[in-house]
Amino acid sequence: MNSIKSVVFVCLALLAGNTLADRAEDEASIRGALTGVKPSSINTTPIAGLYEVVVGPHVVYMSGNGQYMLQGELVDIRQGKNLTEPSRRGAIRELMSSVSEDDMIIFKPEKVKHVITVFTDIDCGYCRKLHNEMDQYLAEGIEIRYMMFPRAGVGSDSYKKAIAVWCAEDRNAALTNAKNGKPLDMKTCDNPIDRHMQLVRQLGARGTPFIVLDNGGTQPGYVPAKRLAKVLEETP
């Protein structure tokens, strides 16, 4: 009986070794296929031979030989569970954690319940609507951290206004004035606006306001304060 147990143990050990070797070989193939791109993680999925690959804030799926890539949501139908979303949120949280608060314009409530990051365009109508309701968001305990996304691009009037706001002595007041159409002192200085724009493009945003929730989820477009507070409370 002991000899049979020993044989079974050896077989299981060899099988595990082969599995680890196969996975290492697959990961090497996937990394080799992603020329010029360094994935932050490569993980197995419930589907044999299919790997979850995280690159920046993006989650894709690749075959073990690195030849095929899938973009989309992986869903466990029996459990009714989206398997992609947790990984995507984690990747976005990691990306956002790399940004210093010194590179943001922050409106903070007395008691912070949630923290969101809003990519904003000074001349966007719904961005102005959101900002003009700032007191409502603060009343819900939502801290708003602004980053700039002038959609018209580098050199546009919105871009120049974003720089002027950043270079103002009181950035919060300057942003409020700019949102209300008041004239700005069009100063220039060292600023993070280009980095903001590069980051929001990584996130795949096309419109403003673009909101990143504290759990790593994203919300394109304006959301009223009470509805946003409910979303933040209900989303794990």
Q: Which positions are annotated as active-site residues?
A: 121, 124, 127, 151
CA 30, CA 174: separation in Å to the nearest integer? 48
Identity of residue 184 = L
Identify whether 220 is preceded by a cis peptide bond (ω within 30 of 0).
no
Contact 106, 145 (CB under 8 A): yes
CA 112, CA 3: separation in Å to the nearest integer? 64
CA 208, CA 126: separation in Å to the nearest integer? 8
Bridge-based pairing state of the strands 114-120 and 81-82:
unpaired
Contact 162, 148 (CB under 8 A): yes
52, β-bridge pairs: 43, 61
Contact 116, 143 (CB under 8 A): yes
Residue 96: which H helix or E strand, with range? helix 85-97
- Alpha-carbon 89 to chain mean position: 6
Lookup result for tokens 């050896």: 10
- Alpha-carbon 167 to chain mean position: 26
228, β-bridge pairs: none
